[in-house]
Structure 1
Amino acid sequence: MIAYLKGILTYITDESIVIDVHGVGYEVVCANPFAFQTSINKELLVNTYHYVREDIQVLYGFKNEDEKYLFTKLISVSGIGPKGALAILGSVDIQGFVSAIEREDDKFLTSFPGVGKKTARQIILDLKGKLQLNVSIDTGLFEEQKDSQPNNQVLLEAQEALKTLGYTDKEIKSILPELNKHGNQDIDEMVRKALALLMKN
């Protein structure tokens, strides 16, 4: 099993990155390849999962261990394959996603690509109480804020708008907990609030 790769990031495509490790180029499929844009032509360590089946071998890459761990758990759920798991990771706040599983919020889960009501229930059935991530998860806090949390689609659109403005995934994720506290807002209000928070950081 290939746990990680450390080498020079030489190329980025819409679906993958290529890492040169001592003269060998490894293609690594990622949820957000362009999240690694700032590391082009630099040495990079990428956590990987080596997916092997009779007819295919693929290296999947992740920015941290929590993303990798959630990926491995998602592909263990009936009805979710690697592509489906990557689609979820491409737009997920891991802490919020795990908290949604713990509070059995299938409405939140069905807002992700490829996740219908049946799959959402299967995710909850298979993973509730079984996810041990490094992130701090306060399910009680999320339960209290359940009615006031922003619409997930608005939050996702706000994240995309911030990326367009040049902010990195790390910068955006650092303000997500604070954005979650401000309840339902339209996209313009959400972006304005996010920009104010980013300027403070």
Structure 2
Amino acid sequence: MIAYIKGILVNIHEDAVIVDVQGVGYEITCANPFAFQASLQNEVTISTYHYVREDTQVLYGFRNQDEKLLFTKLISVSGIGPKGALAILGSVDTKGFIEAIEREDDKYLTSFPGIGKKTARQIILDLKGKLTDITSIPAQTAADTQPEKESDGLQEALEALKSLGYTEREIKSIIPELQKEDSLHTDKIVRKALALLMKKQ
């Protein structure tokens, strides 16, 4: 198993990064490759999961160990493959997602592409109580918390940007900055996003 890759980040694609390790280029598939934009042409260490099946081998990369742990737990759930797990990681606040599992909020979980009610219930059944070590939220307390408004606002903002005609690649490139936005209001997040996208043109 390849636990991490350490080398020079030489290229960023829409769904992967290329890391040069002593002349060998490793293609690492990521939920949001543009999260590594600041490290382009510099040395990086990316936590990885080496996914091996009879007909395929893929190296998945993560910004930190929490993301990697959540990914490994998600792909252990029946009905969720690596692509589905990456889609979740690319648009979710890890803390908010775990809170949703702990409070059995299947409505929130079904808001992600490819997750129906049956899969959402399976996620809760398989993972409830097993992810709270990623955050500081005790399992019992998390069950009593209210839905994570910030992640809902961000998700709505991303959908609004898509409706305005922005591509997945453009949107993904600004997600790290939007996640720093402390506003709970979708319209404020959208305004921040539009300002960031204008700067990139």
Q: Same fold (TM over 0.5)?
A: yes
Query: 2: CA distance between counterparts of 1:193 and 1:40?
Result: 24
Quote the Cα distance in structure 1 between the aligned partners of 2:191 and 2:13: 31
Return the letter of the residue paired with 1:100. A
- Is the alpha carbon distance of 1:193 and 1:168 closer, same or farther for their aligned partners in structure 2, counting shifts above 3 Å? closer
Question: What is the percentage of aligned positions where both structures have the same residue?
Answer: 62
Query: Secondary structure at 1:29's aligned position in 2?
Result: strand
Is the alpha carbon distance of 1:190 and 1:35 closer, same or farther for their aligned partners in structure 2, counting shifts above 3 Å? closer
Matches for 1:6-17 after TM superposition, within 5 Å:
6-17=6-17
Match in the other structure for 2:63: 63
- 1:115 aligns to 2:115 (yes or no): yes
Equivalent residue of 2:80, what SS?
coil
Does residue 124 in structure 1 map to residue 124 in structure 2?
yes
Paired residues of 1:66 and 1:133 also in contact (CA < 8 A): no
User: What amino acid does structure 2 have at the position aligned with 1:134?
Assistant: I
Instruction: Flag structure 2 segments of 5+ consecutive residues without an equivalent.
Output: 162-169, 194-201
TM-score by length of 1: 0.79
Question: 1:128 corresponds to which letter in structure 2?
Answer: K
**Amino acid in structure 2 at the alignment position of 1:37:** Q
> Using the alignment, how far apart are the partners of 1:86 and 1:113 within structure 2?
11
- TM-aligned CA distance change 1:151 to 1:42, over 3 Å: closer
Residue 143, structure 1, aligned to residue 124, structure 2: no
1:54 maps to amino acid: E
Structure 2 letter corresponding to 1:135: T
Secondary structure, aligned partner of 1:79? coil
Q: What TM-score, normalized to structure 2?
A: 0.79
Number of residue pairs the alignment of both structures matches:
183
Q: CA RMSD in A?
A: 2.8
**What's the CA shift string for 1:89-145, capped at 9, x where partnerless?**
010100000010000000000111111111100000110111144322256367343
Partner residue, 1:197: none
Helix, strand or coil: the match of 1:20?
A: strand
1:156 counterpart = 2:155: yes
The answer as to whether partners of 1:14 and 1:33 remain within 8 angstroms in 2 is yes
Seen in structure 2, the aligned counterparts of structure 1 residues 109 and 41 have a Cα distance that, compared at 3 Å, is: same
Residue aligning to 1:25: 25
Cα separation, 2, equivalents of 1:36 and 1:16: 10
Q: CA deviation at 1:69?
A: 0.2
Q: C-alpha distance in 1, partners of 2:78/2:100?
A: 18
**1-structure distance, mates of 2:174, 2:5:** 26
CA change 1:111–1:79 in 2 (3 A) is same
Is the 1:2–1:49 contact (alpha carbons within 8 Å) kept by the matching residues of 2?
A: yes
Counterpart residue identity of residue 83, structure 2: K
Q: Matches of 1:36 and 1:156 in 2, distance apart? A: 21
Whole-Å separation in 2 of the counterparts to 1:168 and 1:109: 20
